Amino acid sequence: MMSNLCSDFAKRYRKLIILILVLLLAFEICYIGIYQSIYEQLCRTRIYDDLAGKAVKIMSANISIKTIITEENSISYSPGASGVIYAKENGTYYALTAAHVVSDSGRTYKAQTTDIPTYKEYMSEQKSDGDNSFIPLREYYAIMPD
């Protein structure tokens, strides 16, 4: 009689442990699969009330700083480094960038803002008549402020 009672208890205990493990596994699957997806979507679509309306101004402050490298008979242009305009005083803009970007005081630096077209866009604007001639980089970089 005692062994039957222990046997029944062991069977119920095993079933209870299996049920708990199955429930924990189901919870983990729901948490990882569903909650994380919902949280990621909420993060991607969150609207920051403190930045509302300022995003355009912030994005337009981002610039690409191009270095003009003048050597004996040639001029070359760097692909650019990132920077941001942080102040304007009496028509002069001040940009923040890494020191190595503007470390050579003997070189000229140009700032490409978001309202300046890319070289490809500039070429298509200048060639409205279908002309396939080359537009020199010097002409393109001349539209950028020093």
59 and 7 within one domain? no
- State whether the Cα torsion 89-95-99-104 is positive or negative: negative
Look over the chain and give the mean of its residue pLDDT values, rounded to a whole number: 77
Residues 50-75 pLDDT 10s: 666 665 566 667 777 888 877 788 77
Residues 125-134 pLDDT 10s: 776 655 666 6
**84 domain residue, yes or no:** yes
- Domain membership of residue 3 as a residue range: 1-46
Is the per-residue pLDDT at 120 higher than 60?
Answer: yes
**122 domain residue, yes or no:** yes
116 and 83 within one domain? yes
**81 domain residue, yes or no:** yes
The token pair that represents 71 in the structure block: 């050597």
Overall number of domains in the chain: 2
